[in-house]
Structure 1
Amino acid sequence: MGYQNKVVRIDLTKKGVSFEPLRMDFAKKYVGSKGLAIRYMYEELKPGIDPLGPENKLFLTTGPLTGTPVPCSGKLSVAAKSPATGTMNDCSIGGHVGIRLKFAGYDMAIFEGKLSEPGYVLIDDGKIRFMDAKDLWGLGSHEAEKILAQKYGPEFSIMSIGPAGENLGVMACINCDYYRQAGRGGIGAVMGSKNMKAIVIRGTGGVKVNDIENTTNRIIELLRESVVNDDNQYIFDDGTTAFLEACNDGGILPWKNFSDTTDEKWTEYNGDVLKQYRVGKRGCGSCGLGCGNFLKIGDAICEGPEYESIAVAGPNAGIRDPEKIVKFNEVADDMGLDTISAGDTIIWAMEMTEKGIHDFGIKFGEADKMIEYLKLMARNEGVGKDLALGTKRASEKYGGTEFAMQVKGLEFPQYEPRGSWATSVAYAVSDRGACHMRAYPPNMEVFEAAAPPYTAENKGQLVYDLAEYNAIKFSLCICDFWGTLDYDIMAELLTMVTGVEWTTEDMSTVGRRVINIGRAFNQREGFDRRHDTVPKRIVTEALQNGPAKGQVIPQEAFDDMLSQYYKVMGWDENGKMPEDLIASLL
C-alpha cells in the first residue's frame, strides 16, 4: 500500500520502454523520493561517468505518500549526476507532476540514453510515446509549455527545459507547470543532453491506502491542528517574501556578492510592496497552504518571486527595483536557468569588473544588463559563454576565486554564513554543493535564536540534526512549509498509508542513512574534506554593517565545526566513510 510497486524504464536511444517492480529492498531502507533516488543512482551509475553523457540517467521518483491526501506531499524528486559539481544531485519540484506520475501507475520513471534528435516523452497512464520536438527546440520554456498545454490540455503536467538546458549549461533547470522548478545543479542540462525538450505526464488512476478511513480522519485533524493554522498563515499571505525582513533583521541578508549584509532600504522591495502587484495564487497538489503568488509589474510576470530570487536579483546585486527583480525571475525561468546560480555568477562578474580584475561589462546596480546577461548565458553567446561556466570554472579562468561564492561548483543560497556560523558547515557538507535545503541553520541560529550564531560550539551536531530531519522529510516527499511536522507524525502517517509499522526511531535511522548514501556516492567520485570548504571571503573578511557587524568565521573555527560533523557521522578526519559503513547502506 502507498507504493505502486512499478518502475518505468525509458530507453531514449532505442526508443524502448520496459516495466519492472520497484526494488522494495531499497524502499524499506530509503522509503522513497530523495533517498530512493540516490540509492538507485548509487546502484546504476558507474563511477566517473560524464554527467552530460548518455551513461547518466534521469530519475523521477515519488514517495509512498505521493498521491494521497497527506498534506504537502505532492512533490517529485528529480535526480541525476550533476554537471555543475560532479556530485549526486536531487531536486524537488512542486506542482502536480509527482501526483500525476504516481496516478499513471509508477513510483519511478528512469530515462536512459539519448534521443537521436530533439523530442519529448509522453507518459499517458500505461502508454509511453516518443514525440518529435524539433519545432519546440530553441523556444523558451514558457512558450514550449504553452504549446504543449494547448495540445494536451489541463490534465497533463509538462516538464520542460529552456535554451540553457538545450545548450548544456551547468546552471540549467527543469520547469514544470510554468513556474515550478527542479532548479539546482544543472539538472536541466542532463535533460538537454538527452535531447529531451519536455516530459508530458497524465495519470488517471489512484493510490491504494491501507487504512483509508482512519488515515483520512487523521489528516483532517492534522490539517486543522498542524498545517492550516495561525503559525503558517504567513505562507499563504506572503510566501517566502516574509524571509526578507527576518534575514535583514538577523544580519544574514547578503549585499553585493556577500561582501556585507543588510540593506537599510529593504522595504522598497519587500513582501508588502510585492503584494500590491499580486494577480493570483495557487498551491501544489495536496497542499493546504498555497504559497504561490502570481505577480505582474508592468510587463514583468512570475510566480513568486521567492526569497532567493529577490535577494539574488536585489540587494546582493545592489538593486532595489521590484519590477526588475520580477523581470529577472521571469526571464530566468523562461531561459531555464537556476536563479540562484545564474544570479550569483552575474554578481561575481559585477565585482570582478568593479575591482578591475576582468571587465565583464557589468557593475553592481545594472539591472537591465543583469536581465540581458541571463539570455546570453542561456544561449551561450558573447560574455554569456564565460558566465555560463558558473563561478567556480569562470574564477579559475579569470581570477577572483576568493569571492566566487560557491562550494564544489554550486553557488551560495542567499544566507550569509558569517551571521549564522553553522550555515558555513551546512553549505560545505551538503551532498550537492552549497545548499540550504539539506540543513537550514538560519532558522535555529537567527530566526528562533535557539542557538548562538557566532560560535563553533556544538555546530556539527546542530547541522547533523537539521540534515537528518530534512533527509527523511524529503524522502517522504513532504514540503518544507509544514513547519510543525515531526518524526512522530511522519511515522504515524507512513504506517497508516503503507500498513507497515514505522517508528519515530525509524525516521531518524532512515534520515541518517540517506545522508550517508549521498556521501557514499560522492566519495566514490573522489570527494572528501578537500572539497568541503567555503570561499576565502567567509574566513578572512569581517562584515562591516548590520547585526552581524564584525563577524568573520576564523579558519580554525570552521575546521573545528567540520571535524565535529564528521565525528557525529562516524567518518574519519578526511571526511571519508569506512567501508563497513558503506556496506551497511547497500
Structure 2
Amino acid sequence: DGIPMKKGDANAIISTIHKLGKQEGYGKLFKDGVAAGAKEIGKGAEEYALSVKGLELQPMEYRVMKPQALATATNTKDYIDSPCDVVYNWMLAPDASAKEEVEKFAEKVYGTRDAARPDKINATAPVVIDYESKTVAVDMVGMCKYLIPMMFSHFLDIPAKLASFATGVEISEADLMHAAQRVLTLERAINVIKGMRRKDDTMPKRIFEEPVPSGPWKGEKLEKANFDKMLDEYYALHAYDKNGIPKEEAFKKFGLLEEWKV
C-alpha cells in the first residue's frame, strides 16, 4: 500500500492499526493474524511470520529467554499467561549485586541458581510449570496475574486467603496449585482431542536456526536439541507421554479418570 515498513516507524505502525481495524489494503490480508496472512501470501512467506499455533510471538528475544520459549510453545491458551518472571528479574537487574539476589531467590525456590538465568536449560521445565500453575491459580480466584506471581509476590498465600474468605472453605496454597494443575490437565486433554501433539509444541524455525545478530547476547540461539530436552522434561513432570498426551496417571492424580476414559 505504499507504506515503508521500517522498524520503529510510527507512521507504519499507526497506518497498520487503522488498516487492520478497517480491513483495508494489507489490513484485510492480515485481519486474522500474521500466520493466516502469510499462508495466504504463500511463496515461503510463512517462514517470516513468527508465530506459534497461529498466534503472534511477543516482542522478546526467545533465543535468549529459554524458559519463555518453552512456556510459549506449550501454553494451552494464549502464551502471555506464563511469564516466568524470575528470568525477567534477572535480566532487568541493574547490577551484579541485584542479579545475585535474584539467583539466591531462584536457588531457594527451585534448588538452583540457574533457574534465574535465561540462557540455562537445566531448570527450565520446573520454572515454567510453576509459573503456568500459579497464573492459572490466580486466574481462578479472579485476581490479576500480573500482580501474582509476577510483580507483587511470587507466592499464593494472598490468593489462598481470598479464596478461603470467599468460599468459607479453608484453601491452602497447595490446594490452589493442585486445582490449577487439574485445570491445566483438562485444558491439555481438550487440545489433544482437537489434534494437538508434540509437533505443535514448538517454535518457529528461525528461532532455532538464526543466532542473535547483535547486542550483549550476540551469537546466542535456541538449539533444537536443547529445546527437545526441555520439552521432554516438561512432559515428564506433567505425566504426559513423549507426544504430549496426558497419561492415565495424570488423570488419576487429579480425580479425572472418567474424563480420561473419554
> Aligning the two structures, in what range does the TM-score lie when normalised by the shorter sequence?
0.7 to 0.9
Map of 1:507-522 to 2, 5 A cutoff?
A: 507-522=176-191
* TM superposition shift of 1:370: 2.6
* Residue 379 to residue 553, structure 1, CA distance change in 2 (3 Å): same
1:452 to 93, 117, 120: 117
Partner secondary structure for residue 363 of structure 1: coil
TM-score, L = length of structure 1: 0.37
Amino-acid identity (%)? 28
| In 1, Cα distance between equivalents of 2:218 and 2:18 | 36
Q: Is the Cα contact below 8 Å between 1:417 and 1:424 reproduced in 2?
A: yes
**Separation in 2, partners of 1:511, 1:446:** 28
* Aligned residue number for residue 388 of structure 1: 31
Within 2, Cα distance between the matches of 1:371 and 1:495?
46
Q: Deviations over 1:550-572 (max 9, x none)?
A: 11011101111111111110001
- Over alpha carbons, which structure has the higher Rg? 1
Q: 1:363 to 1:470 in 2, by over 3 A?
A: same
Q: Is the 8 A contact 2:68 2:82 kept in 1?
A: no
For the residue of structure 2 that corresponds to 1:523, the secondary structure is helix
Look up the SS of the partner of 1:432 in the other structure.
Answer: coil
After superposition, where does 1:160-239 map in structure 2 within 5 Å? none
Whole-angstrom CA distance in 1 between matches of 2:163 and 2:30? 44
Looking at structure 2, the residues matched to 444 and 557 of structure 1 have their Cα atoms a distance apart, in angstroms, of 23
Shift of 1:400: 2.9
**Number of equivalent positions:** 227
- Give, in angstroms, the shift of residue 401 of structure 1: 2.4
User: What's the secondary structure of 1:417's corresponding residue?
Assistant: coil
Is the 1:468–1:512 contact (alpha carbons within 8 Å) kept by the matching residues of 2? yes
State the one-letter code of the partner of 2:163. L
Counterpart AA for 2:138? K
Rounded to whole Å, the distance in 2 between the matches of 1:537 and 1:363 is 20
Aligned with 2:6 (options 352, 361, 364)? 364
TM-fit CA distance, 1:409: 0.8
Structure with the bigger percentage of helix? 2
The runs of at least 4 aligned residues of structure 1 exceeding 3 Å deviation read 359-362, 447-450, 579-586
Paired residue type of 1:378: G
Q: Which residue of 1 aligns with 2:210?
A: 541
Conserved? CA contact 1:420–1:445, under 8 Å: no
2:54 to 394, 397, 409: 409
List runs of 5+ in structure 1 lacking aligned partners. 1-358
Give distance in 1, aligned partners of 2:82 and 2:190: 16
TM-score by length of 2: 0.78
RMSD over equivalenced CA pairs, Å: 2.2
Map 1:426-445 to 2 at 5 A: 426-433=71-78, 435-441=79-85, 442-443=87-88
Cα distance, 1:469 vs. partner? 1.0
Residue 453 of structure 1 aligns to a residue whose secondary structure is coil
**Structure (1/2) with the larger strand percentage:** 1
Secondary structure, counterpart of 2:236 in structure 1: helix
Counterpart code for 1:489: I
Partner of residue 223, structure 2:
554
Indicate conservation of the 8 Å contact 1:360/1:383, yes or no.
no
Of 173, 194, 197, 1:528 maps to 197
- Cα 1:396–1:445 change in 2 (3 A) is farther
Distance in 2 (CA, whole Å) between partners of 1:444 and 1:528 is 32
- Deviation per CA, 1:387-430: give whole Å up to 9, x if none: 21312122223333233121101111222112211111010001
1:576 has 2:245 as partner: yes
Q: Give unpaired runs (5+ residues) of structure 2.
A: 93-101, 107-115
CA distance in 1, matches of 2:181, 2:81: 15
SS in 2 for 1:414: coil
User: Residues 520 and 360 from structure 1, CA distance in 2 versus in 1: closer, same or farther, beyond 3 angstroms?
Assistant: farther
Q: Structure 2 CA distance, aligned partners of 1:409 and 1:553? A: 20
Secondary structure of the structure 2 residue equivalent to 1:436 = helix
Q: What CA deviation, in whole Å up to 9, does each residue of 1:53-76 have, x standing for no partner?
A: xxxxxxxxxxxxxxxxxxxxxxxx
d(CA) in 2 for partners of 1:547, 1:436: 25
- Measured against aligned partners, the alpha-carbon deviations of 1:191-226 in whole angstroms (never above 9, x if no partner) come to xxxxxxxxxxxxxxxxxxxxxxxxxxxxxxxxxxxx
Evaluate the alpha carbon distance shift between residue 523 and residue 395 of structure 1 in structure 2; reply closer, same or farther with a 3 A threshold: same
Instruction: Quote the Cα distance in structure 2 between the aligned partners of 1:549 and 1:532.
Output: 26
Question: Could you say what secondary structure the match of 2:203 adopts?
Answer: coil
